[in-house]
Amino acid sequence: MSNYHIKHLEEYFQVYRKSVRNPENFWEEVAEEHFLWRKRWDNVLSWDFKKPEVKWFEGAELNITENCIDRHLRTRGDKTAILFEPNNPDEPAQHISYQQLYERVNQMANVLKSQGIEKGDRVCIYLPMIPELAIALLACARIGAIHSVVFAGFSSKALATRINDASCKMLITSDGSYRGSKTLDLKAIVDGALESCESIETVLVAERTKNKIHMKEGRDLWLQPLLDDAEVKCSAEPMKAEDPLFILYTSGSTGRPKGMVHTTAGYMVYTAYTFKNIFQYRETDVYWCTADIGWITGHSYIVYGPLANGATTVMFEGVPSYPDFSRFWEIVEKHQITHLYTAPTAIRALAKENIEYVERHDLSSLKVLGSVGEPINEEAWHWYNDNIGKKQSPIVDTWWQTETGGIMISPIPFVTPTKPTYATLPFIGIQPALMDEEGKEIKGNQVDGRLCIKFPWPSMARTIWGDHDRYRDTYFSAYENKYFTGDGAMRDEVGYYRITGRVDDVIIVSGHNLGTAPIEDAINEHPAVAESAIVGFPHDVKGNALYGYVMLKEFGETRNQDNLRKEINQQITDKVGPIAKLDKIQFVNGLPKTRSGKIMRRILRKIASKDTSNLGDTSTLLNPEVVQEIMDNAL
């Protein structure tokens, strides 16, 4: 197991040096020793950040599901692969063994085939956190179909945009979903979306809530009867290393969501290797990542990374507040969870509640804690460390992105000394750089700048579906020969990194990336609205909340402003989803603009954050007079 499982700091430095001095050799060794290949690669890496084009393990053939399932059957057939904890604590948990997972994935794969899905076809998956979700991903991968999971909290419009962008042929959904005390009618959202999606031929519907739903003749099919008739064996399609495995959408600062394309071999090698090391996963551990599989964290660290290591991975259907705020801690005790990987927004929400919710439960099974999705503030870090980890379980603050596929900067537990709010050191193989605004790299320590990555890593996204130019423009044009992350970061005196947040127009609300453009578009579609601008402002649970500045068409609009606010938020709920609702809406007579007509968000951001002492020079604006007025009426 050379290099596969790092155990102390000296070893980290040694392996790190080796991985950056000769990345090809390093990753070749990892790939050779720990995975199942149908055919070996001819070339480990070829890359050109100008085009940009990156290829890992070219010439190789494999199937990721053979690595995540088949190869474990001999030694781990009876071991729990997926431990499903339902929304309702009285409903029994399900332990799906590797053998059962094998059978269920193969049955689902056979159903996909029988419905005409072939290698390369796109399958959209819009499901709640039930086992069928993980099984659907793996079934696509089994036959070489490209999955495109859309988080089941998105609206009809958002779902339709994503289905159309990738021309998905099939949609897999359910009759409904449970979220705490609520039951959501997912199928109605799907029906709404499909009014404007021509590419979908078949909709497979999993039964979960027994909601009364409409099944459209000739299009909609119940999944279970098809599964019952399907064979439990389906041979795995040999895939080329660079064949797409999935598309996953992320918000951009402008325009449509970006369908990030991840390919097969590099993604598998990197997610598996990071999972093993960053969680120091051992054979009998029970690992729980609380993310939804609708996001990259769920793809890489609920499904592919853990299963590639033969781990037991928990899928939780519910929410931290149901039936009460002790649910997380109850689950930890019930399943003797060893690893808890969650988001700062959840930690902050739970920290606000009575500490008795925590104290009622025995958390002594925990060994490693993780944080992901946004910067973790000092207070939340200490609360997590003191009350959940009892100062015994290191916190891995893992920085990464949908685009990076896997964790990029993170401590290794029991290896890297942690420091509150710091993601600490680059992971093996990762070469970060901080850049100044002129495009020069800032060397040395105790500096801050824009975070870039200088060298390819195996799990990086290869393109944006259908728009390679946008991929190049977004990530490879700001700094020559570097991948630009969109984040700002500082490096302290010992070389630890702290991520300071986005430097573009993406706003992270409760750990969800939201682009300003689609929200503004939704607002602007309201008949009374002329123009709008969205910015983030600090919020003690969500991290950031949204503040909207809205200019109405009719100056002095007589309608009740509160009603208008409700209508605007409803518009956002319909077009984007409830996570994008605005906390504050201020009606304005004008938006501050540069002479070229660009909205000066920097000023709006400061006003929303009540930080108006230093607004900078506003005299160069096209309409400086609006600034004072906006300040006077700020909420």
Residues of this chain that interact with ligand WTA (CB under 6 A) are: 250, 295-297, 371-375, 397-402, 423, 485-487, 499, 502, 508, 513
Q: Which is nearer to ligand WTA, 191 or 487 (CB)?
A: 487
Cα–Cα distances in Å, from 157 out to 518, 522, 538, 545? Answer: 11, 10, 28, 22
DSSP conformation class of 609: T
Cβ 349 to ligand WTA shortest distance, Å: 17
Question: What is the Cα–Cα distance from 278 to 368, expressed in whole angstroms?
Answer: 9
Q: Which is nearer to ligand WTA, 277 or 297 (CB)?
A: 297
| Residue closer to ligand WTA, measured from CB, 152 or 170 | 152
State how far the Cα of 588 lies from the Cα of 561, in Å rounded to an integer.
12
| Cα–Cα distance, 532 to 554 (Å, whole number) | 14
Q: How far is the CB of 348 from ligand WTA (least distance, A)?
A: 14
Type of residue found at 536: G
Instruction: Kindly tell me which of 106 and 297 has the beta carbon lying closer to ligand WTA.
Output: 297
* First CA to last CA distance, the chain: 58
From CA 469, how far away is CA 473, in angstroms rounded? 6
Write down the least CB distance from residue 295 to ligand WTA, Å.
Answer: 6
Q: How far is the CB of 502 from ligand WTA (least distance, A)?
A: 5
Burial readout 182-215 (b: 16 or more C-beta within 10 A, e: otherwise): ebbebbebbbebbeebebbebbbbbbbbebebee
Q: Is 86 left (phi over 0), alpha (psi -120 to 50) or beta?
A: beta
Closest to ligand WTA by CB, 241 or 245 = 245
When the beta carbons of 178 and 304 are compared against ligand WTA, the nearer one is 304
If we measure between CA atoms, which residue out of 455, 480, 462, 459 comes closest to residue 407? Answer: 459
Distance CA 366, CA 396 (A): 13
- Whichever of 263 and 297 has its CB closer to ligand WTA, that residue is 297
- Measured from the CB of residue 275, what is the shortest distance to ligand WTA in angstroms? 14
Alpha helices (H) in 251-400, listed in sequence order: 264-278, 296-298, 305-308, 327-335, 344-351, 356-359, 378-383
Shortest Å, Cβ 84 to ligand WTA = 23
Smallest separation (angstroms) from ligand WTA to the CB of 529: 29
CB of 401 to ligand WTA, least distance (A): 4
Q: Cβ(450)–Cβ(488) under 8 Å?
A: yes
Please identify, using beta-carbon distances, which residue of 41 and 267 lies nearer to ligand WTA.
Answer: 267
- Cα–Cα distance for residue pair 375/114, rounded to 1 Å: 45
Spatial separation of the C-alpha atoms in residues 292 and 304, rounded to whole Å: 14
Residue 317 vs 487, nearer CB to ligand WTA = 487
Q: How far is the CB of 438 from ligand WTA (least distance, A)?
A: 22
